[in-house]
Chains A and B, each alone.
Chain A
Amino acid sequence: MSTASARRLNAQNARSGAPRGAGPVPPLVRDRDCYVAGVAGGLATHLGWSPLLVRVIFLVTGLVGAGVLLYLWLWAFTPWAEPTDAAPRVTRRAPVAWILVALAIGGAATAIGQALTTYEVRVGGAVPWIPTVVVTVLLAVAAGAWTSFIDRRDPERGRRTEVAVRLVATGVLTVLAVVLLTGPSAAQSPTVVFLAALFVVIGIGLLYAPSLVTLWNDLTTERVARIRDEQRSAIAAHLHDSVLQTLALIQNRAGASSEAGRLARAQERELRSWLFEGDSPADSDLATDLRDFASALELDYPVHIEVVAVGSSTERASGELAAAAREAMLNAARHAGGDVSVYIEGAATAVDVFVRDRGPGFDVASVASDRLGVRESIIGRMRRAGGRGTVGPGAGGVGTEVHLRFETGEAARG
């Protein structure tokens, strides 16, 4: 105890960074590194008393009754301390469930002893082992509740402890019930013994009730998620039928390069990505990034960019390949306009990106040397990154096609 309280004092001093009494009163919070619930420790820190003293006071007043209420009150209403590096999560050092189980075992042993040794039952009087049985059952149920609601979330205890605690408690209660039913008391006062045994059996049932509650909570959570999903897809279907159709029609009637068509296309793309790509956070893989970039370009230039992605690639949006591809798309939008196709193919060993436009096309050699766009941003960038970039005329000599290739086979970059 003394080392523990010394540790606590050290921790407290380290936290406040000042000798005790000098700074403001530390707030009333429950320390994450605690024995049971951190109430006594937190109160001691707050009042500047010794934790041992606080614990003794709680124990003494707890025997009278008021201390228990105060403890529960503080437990319910005092927040946990902010997580720190030293105590990132709640650590309970006392094995509360096992202590409760041990107490239940003690109670059961006492009750069994009383039941076996009590031959005379006073007529109309209390059966001496009844209070012990009640306390035993309550202790066992408390152990079960503690282990399911509190220990289960504790990675150091978890499900294994839960199952073990419950098994031991069940065993204790079963033995108690069997002894009561077969002991000498059963012959003398069968009704009382039957009721007592029934109470014990109900206690066994209550032991498992917390896991039912947890199961029920899980079910409810799942159902809520499903309802939300269904609602979402209903909204998606509705928007799909109404807004997307209208946007498609606007594009159709307004023409590919008109302002209205452009806005409608950008909106359509945005809405569609929301509808069909789910609410998973947009991971910035290459295809997603280029799609986003395409919709941004469509807002700024009279261009229609179709992005088709095949296969899966580990290429990130932050990579050089993505930067070069964005540059190529920007060039196509700026100088060619109209329809631009972007094709991404991610294989196990290489990633290919094709950007193809149907603009006037241009000859790399004829571009003035002070224009760095193509030479540096695309070809040079790919070469420096260990890939390859080629710029050439599109099929049939129409437009321009940029081909970027990046081998990922041998040297996968971190």
Chain B
Amino acid sequence: MSDKRREDVPEVPEDPSVAEGNGIDIPVPEEAPARGRGRRGRKRAERSEADSGLLPESGAPAGTVYTLGPQNEFGDVEDVSFEQASEDAAEPSEPKKGAALDISDIPNAVAAPDAPASGKFRKRKKRRTAQPRNTAAAPEETSVPAAEDSAPSSQDAPAAEPASVPEEPPADVNAAENADKAPSGEPETSEAAEPAADVADAAPKASRSKRRGKRRPAQADRPDSGDTPSESGEAAASRDTASAPDAEPAVPAKKPKKKSRRTAAQAEDAAGDAAETESAPSETPEKPLRAPKPKAPAATLLLHGILSENPLLFGLVGVFPVVAAASTGLTALAAGICVLAALIVTNLAAALIGDRLPRRLRAALLLLLAACVSAGEQFALEALLPETVDALGIFIPLVAVCGLTLARESFASEHHPASALIDAAACGVGFAAALTLLGVIREVIGSRALFGLDISVPGLPPVLVFAAPAGGLLLLGLLSGAARYVRTKRRASKRGSKEAEL
């Protein structure tokens, strides 16, 4: 189901205001109602689009911005050889469950509507894999001459790729966005890609770069398209930015993609796979969904996890049991470290599992994993800090199942493992720090001690409430309010300084 939801993004005309708000009628009668109708309705809509060829093209008023750039696509159909078109038509109709019906393929499907997913075309695909040179040489009369020679060579001799790509890492990071903005004579696509980039997830990016790859004459990319369409698209896009002399400077990406080196390596692997072991065609369409997971910038993650989005002070995810239990500085520190360890393990596992499991099953599995980690933590605490075990009691196991685990799970599963790891570390450290602060305050006020050292002042008895769970909650509420106050003030001052600059 989660796969389905992700597919929604490329299905709809990606600028909803165009489709619905502005009263521009798109002659796709099934399209708008189908969206709310669940899986069956959506499938029917897709089928009707593919069959009728009605997709945005006909009847669209001049100047309408379509993300999919229908005219371009149709203009391209002539450029693409029949082999290519038929294969594109064959791809979406592969009966693999969960495979994305990529809308970028539909116009080509219209160009060759009679091309089924027959063995004939699969054979062609195989043959082309075996002889990438021929196909690369064939469409040389098509439009983009710049990176002509580099593309097939990069596929044939993959070692050339990593040498060329890392030269422009910043451009490559934004390659998918820049590629559409690159002045290659398709204003509609480039205009329309911008709103799409806002909502873009990995899947639409993949589809877009796939289109780029299609336009590219270097069709040697195609054999591995099943594995890494977006990577090959990315590589093509980076070549594109390199070849275009007046390419725009790198715009900060909203969701930066993987590093180019990794991309190149994956492309290599994929090319190698495709060349050596011809995988069954039913396997291939599954993978375009697993487009490279985006990496989030590490500094932002750290800043968010530790300060501006501290999970204890701002997120207030279900950590209250731990808060209630951690009544001294040492206990709080131990609990915080337990949370950190559990969070790192579960976040990493979530990133690795990704979409391979249904969401609920994944969450249950992660909780089980966290519980296992917590059992280990309990043994470790008994050995290292036996005095905290009595205080925390059943809360050590509950650390694992506390809401923080699941709160970060959705982030982790959609991002690269490295990002997930950094996020887990940041959130865990932020949580542990805030919890320790809370514990220290509670210990100082509630029992007049600091990490076990007696700091009692004569005539000033300890306020026992703060040692009780109620005190913990009270203090957490107050601290959270204070933290929010500070954050609001800071943001206001930042905004004020920006306005002053303007």
Q: Do A and B come from one complex?
A: no
Residues in chain A within 8 A of chain B (CB atoms): none
